[in-house]
């Protein structure tokens, strides 16, 4: 059985051997997978929000306001004047062209976010894993980040990662705990793809399930052991995370996969042809 402290020590040693490359890979991965996606969608959402508010305000301004009439009306009906106008503006919004605009922009934002997730986030995550697994043995270039794009197996990798995310989401809909359990069961899929991007979706799920059998709780505790570092990273506005914590975590996770991979090979859960090595 693997020991948490040993994995962390090996992970630390791996990324320190190629420190600046490790930091750069984590930083590029963060920018491409999180920064680009959230930045694009947030700008669209902000633009839409401004348009939405302008639309509501313009609808609101279109109403003729007869102060004496409305004062008498609200007095008789005992209604709040502001609430009346808000409800009236919302009702008008849903019966106007602004509602259609809302739907169109919402769909566009969702599609852009989905495309970024498929074409950038998933491949970069796999490439990052390829890099950290590789530096356990030798120096790797930054080309590892685009490993999937160069492999000719982009479509297969994207589909497998999409199904991983979909299954986790569906399990989470049932209850939070089953969703968390499944996330750990599928945890090794991005590493399996970083080694063999052409492997079938079904087989990738099977191998990850076998690797994590009996290891989910220990892996959860391994994640918890980094909480102190994550807090320090937050205190330093992410600076410590960029220059130490993120590479440290990635190096440790690579060591975990390396151990589980070797164990799976010895037990016959997987063949060397399926996991060809780095």
CA nearest to 114, candidates 158, 157, 79, 77: 158
Please write the tens of the pLDDT for every residue from 112-158: 888 988 999 999 999 999 999 999 988 899 999 999 999 989 999 99
pTM of the model: 0.78
What's the pLDDT score for residue 86?
A: 63
Backbone φ and ψ for 273, nearest 5 degrees, come out as -70, -30
Please write the tens of the pLDDT for every residue from 153-196: 999 999 999 999 999 999 998 888 889 999 999 999 999 999 99
What's the pLDDT score for residue 40?
A: 47
What's the pLDDT score for residue 41?
A: 46
Q: pLDDT: is 191 or 100 the higher one?
A: 191
pLDDT at 36 over 70: no
Q: What is the mean pLDDT of residues 24-31?
A: 92
Please write the tens of the pLDDT for every residue from 53-98: 554 455 445 444 444 444 444 444 544 555 566 666 666 656 666 6
CA distances from 46 to 43, 50, 194, 256, 270 (A): 5, 6, 36, 41, 48
What's the pLDDT score for residue 223?
A: 97
Q: Is 208:201 a contact under the CB 8 Å cutoff?
A: no
What's the pLDDT score for residue 34?
A: 63
Please write the tens of the pLDDT for every residue from 219-267: 999 999 999 999 999 999 999 999 999 999 999 999 999 999 999 998 8
What's the pLDDT score for residue 84?
A: 61
Please write the tens of the pLDDT for every residue from 42-56: 454 454 445 445 544
Residues near 267 by beta carbon (within 8 Å), at least 6 away in sequence: 210
What's the pLDDT score for residue 65?
A: 46
HEC string for the chain: CCCHHHHHHHHHHHHHHCHHHHHHHHHHHHHHHHHHHHHHHHHHHHHHHHHHHHHHHHHHHHCCCCHHHHHHHHHHHCCCHHHHHHHHHHHHHHCCHHHHHHHHHHHHHHHHHHHHHHHHHHHHHHHHHHHHHHCCCCCCCHHHHHHHHHHCCHHHHHHHHHHHHHHHHHHHHHCHHHHHHHHHHCCCHHHHHHHCCCCCHHHHHHHHHHHHCCCHHHHHHHHHCCHHHHHHHHHCCCHHHHHHHHHHHHHHHHHHHHHHHHHHHHHCCCCCCCCCCC
């Amino acid at each position: 059985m693997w020991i948490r402290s040993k994995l962390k020590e090996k992970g630390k040693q791996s990324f320190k051997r190629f420190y600046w490359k490790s930091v750069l890979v984590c930083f590029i991965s963060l920018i491409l997978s999180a920064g680009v996606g959230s930045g694009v969608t947030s700008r669209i959402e902000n633009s839409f929000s401004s348009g939405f508010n302008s639309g509501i305000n313009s609808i609101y301004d279109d109403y003729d306001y007869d102060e004496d009439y409305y004062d008498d009306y609200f007095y008789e009906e005992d209604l709040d004047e502001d609430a009346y106008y808000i409800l009236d503006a919302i009702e008008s919004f849903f019966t106007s062209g602004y509602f259609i605009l809302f739907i169109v922009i919402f769909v566009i934002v969702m599609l852009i976010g989905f495309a970024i997730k498929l074409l950038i986030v998933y491949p970069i995550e796999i490439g990052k894993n390829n890099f950290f697994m590789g530096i356990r043995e030798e120096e790797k270039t930054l080309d590892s980040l685009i490993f999937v794009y160069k492999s000719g197996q982009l479509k297969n990798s994207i589909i497998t990662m999409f199904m991983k995310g979909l299954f986790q989401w569906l399990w989470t809909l049932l209850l939070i705990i089953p969703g968390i359990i499944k996330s750990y069961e599928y945890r090794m899929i991005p590493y399996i793809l970083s080694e063999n991007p052409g492997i079938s979706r079904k087989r990738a799920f099977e191998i990850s399930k076998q690797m994590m059998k009996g290891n989910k709780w220990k892996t959860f505790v391994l994640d918890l052991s980094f909480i102190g570092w994550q807090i320090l990273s937050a205190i330093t506005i992410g600076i410590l995370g960029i220059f130490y914590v993120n590479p440290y975590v990635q190096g440790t996770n690579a060591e975990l996969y390396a151990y589980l991979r070797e164990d799976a090979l010895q037990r016959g859960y997987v063949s060397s042809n399926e996991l060809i090595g780095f």
